[in-house]
Structure 1
């Protein structure tokens, strides 16, 4: 169970490539199976790489299980934050967030502003000059949210000060999915967006994207889903058993922590064909059993599923639409994403871009 107090925490949190489980998880799954006990963050803990148990835990959030985040995270976010809060307080905060980022609001308010924020950021890029794409991705998301919550515009002194604090807080948390030049899915992705532009011209439409345009970006959303499967931000969550619980022959003692590891199910070969292979087409053929959709928890699951998931997917999709139509790009230097435990690019994913002229 590891060292006193620390237990196996250091091994559990050791950096490893985002697209694998890391040495700690792989060794223990091979030795003990998908459900095993450990000592993490100073407490006895059950670690689950089992899709059914993970779903059971999150389906019973608030009844059989409750949040049990590390003390450091609670101190940073505060006990009244939506992630940490429980019961009625959590329900109230989440209802506010869901209303704020509802589909009608995405359609009427966020879509146009997201596109504007993305294009404004693109206008600051200098060709053939390396820049950290990760920082640019965070900036785009930040500017959009600040505009809707605080009515602040990019570039204002208060906005820039908030952005610096936000960048510090979010270090290592947000990653932007990128498609590699010359691959089959790069070509399919670009073709989808060219067709959308052509259809708009045929209809005599000009200007901003519409909700209908966004909904046509089906293959792009497949790429987003596949990227999140391989390197999702929420790799695991912390829960605690509120009573003695039995699950398929396993005993979960009261007050023990339990960690459902989403990455483990995302990379499980019994659930996904060739799980370490980037294959966005798997999301078009779920009926062929290439992917078990009920094991996909990139935005968690149950009452604590991320209320901003549709906004996040929309932002990334709109970003990719304009990115592939307007730029060719290359890595300025190699930068492999690592989990520690959140995904991060150690160098910020430095790239160089070359502007394209779209002729149709």
Structure 2
């Protein structure tokens, strides 16, 4: 028996050794970028999650960029990934959307949000969804129909906050942003389920970077349960609307719009519409609430910025015949310094270190080959922290935007993505933040109660949140 056992053990050692070798040396029809694949299956995931208390890139990324250069390979959660902080390569990849690359998300994202680009008609579907968003949240809708009710919502909400002992900013802004957006998406139906749906999305968003281990008690498992609950709510609403077509709203909301298009767009099945509503509902609050929280935190730590920002908005009030009248579109477009503050907040406070794509074919660039199927992480945060583009990049300096050329901004500023995948809701986000700032600095002031310490692991967030007390302007 001993020789047999030795043979089995030897064979096992050979197999494991070969497996480890293949893991560390992936197949490639060319030369892979430099780097390391880490441990089998786990890759270098644990190193990526080491936290840092800075706006800067996570230590994992900084160390490897220094060691290997602007493009390197690694493995995260068992996925082979090429990471790039090369502006030229990133710009090239953005232009190849739908050809050489497609959007890709971590396993949990892929499970939660079905990707239209995996369909044969993905490009057409993406164009439809983009146009749908622009028709309801684009410039014309913002200018003609949304600006006034948005300001009214912000005024009423912040006034309510002033009657509370303290406000947890991200949760409070999330509720405001979600309720406003869902009224545009679902009209009066939102009143019946908005809070319940928001609670599901809030729980879901807290675990988006969890390890995909689907067993009871894990964060991943809880995320999937919240996803199912949210989809069930939306499915009931879609069925209700389809069963009562005569109940069409006077002002066609997003759901009405999509249901009307079912007769002409064959890809609009009921299941697809539920998934679409799920995605639109989720993104309606996550970006805005994170940016608003970071904005308040940065303004509280930079009194000179707050002083000039306040002066700009008080100047707008002085030019009005009635200081209490609503913001006009012309006033919004005149908020030059406000836009600088928003740009700087989004540059410095980019939540994710990068944007993810997946190679549809082998990609050749500067002598390296990225194999088909590999993920590509474009380090937008590395570009936005590049000292050759942004002097003293870790400082909060809105004045820097006065001197930056439009061509530099278009190539190196990407909080909303770039190329054909740039977020269709970017103008809505900026208008929301500008309106929020206007009401906050002209009607109120605030003091920090607790929180506000920055951490990355690898997502940027405030370690203990941000809790403030809202006061009247003269309190």
> TM-score, normalised to structure 2's length?
0.69
Which of 375, 393, 396 aligns to 1:257? It is 375
> How has the CA–CA distance of structure 1 residues 53 and 171 changed in structure 2, closer, same or farther, with 3 Å as cutoff?
same
- 1:212–1:302: structure 2 CA closer, same or farther, 3 Å change rule? same
Equivalent residues in 2 for 1:67-86, closer than 5 Å = 67-80=103-116, 86=122
Q: How far 1:81 sits from its partner (Å)?
A: 9.1
Structure 2 distance, partners of 1:199, 1:72, is: 50
2:411 match:
294
Distance 1:151 1:293 in 2: 35
Find the partner of 1:222 among 340, 344, 367.
Answer: 340
Q: Does 1:165 align with 2:200?
A: yes
The structural deviation recorded for 1:41 is 2.8
| Candidates 303, 321, 339, aligned match of 1:183 | 303
131, 152, 160: which is aligned to 1:116?
Answer: 152
* 1:233 aligns to 2:268 (yes or no): no
Q: 1:50 aligns with which of 86, 90, 113?
A: 86
Give the secondary-structure state (helix, strand or coil) at the position aligned to 2:351. Answer: coil
Superposed counterparts of 1:266-345, under 5 Å: 266-287=384-405, 292-345=409-462
Give the Cα–Cα distance (whole angstroms) in 2 for the partners of residues 182 and 101 of structure 1: 32
Question: Shift in Å at residue 181 of structure 1?
Answer: 6.2
Which whole-Å deviations, capped at 9, do the CAs of 1:76-132 have from their partners, x for residues lacking one?
A: 1234599xx942222222221222222110111221121111112112114572220
Structure 1 residues 17, 109: closer, same or farther in 2, change over 3 A? farther
Q: 1:62 Cα shift?
A: 0.6
Q: Tell me the equivalent position of 1:41.
A: 77
From 27, 37, 60, give the equivalent of 2:96.
Answer: 60
SS in 1 for 2:160: coil
Secondary structure (helix, strand or coil) at the match of 1:286 reads: coil
Q: Which moved more, 1:321-330 or 1:247-256?
A: 247-256
If each structure's helix is expressed as a fraction of its own residues, which one has the higher value? 2
Alpha-carbon separation, structure 2, partners of 1:223 and 1:257: 33
Deviation at 1:34, TM superposition (A): 1.2
Kept after mapping to 2: 8 A contact 1:243/1:255: yes
State the alpha-carbon separation in 2 of the partners of residues 340 and 112 from structure 1. Answer: 38
**Post-superposition CA distance 1:13-42 (Å, at most 9, x none):** 443345110110110011111111111231
Q: 1:189-228, aligned counterparts within 5 Å? A: 189-201=309-321, 206-228=324-346
- Give the Å deviation of 1:357: 4.0
Structure 1 residues 163 and 288: CA distance shift in structure 2, 3 A: closer
Determine whether 1:248 maps to 2:366: yes
| Contact 2:447–2:468 under 8 Å retained in 1 | yes
In the aligned structure 2, how far is the partner of 1:242 from the partner of 1:182? 45
Closer, same or farther: CA 253–315 of 1 in aligned 2, 3 Å: same
Q: How does 1:123-142 map to 2 (within 5 A)?
A: 123-126=159-162, 129-142=165-178
CA drift of 1:284 comes to: 1.1
Pick the structure with greater CA Rg. Answer: 2
Q: Distance in 1 between matches of 2:62 and 2:182?
A: 40
Q: Is 1:105 aligned with 2:141? A: yes
SS at match of 1:118: helix
Unaligned runs of 5+ in 2: 1-36, 208-285
Which residue of structure 1 lines up, in the alignment, with residue 13 of structure 2?
A: none
Aligned equivalents of 2:159, 2:327: Cα separation in 1: 18
Q: Deviations over 1:53-74 (max 9, x none)?
A: 1111111111111122222111
Partner of 2:180: 144
Say whether residues 1:92 and 2:128 are aligned partners.
yes
Q: Residues 241 and 255 of structure 1 are in contact (CA less than 8 Å); yes or no, is this contact kept in structure 2?
A: yes
Distance in 1 between the 2:471 and 2:302 partners?
Answer: 15
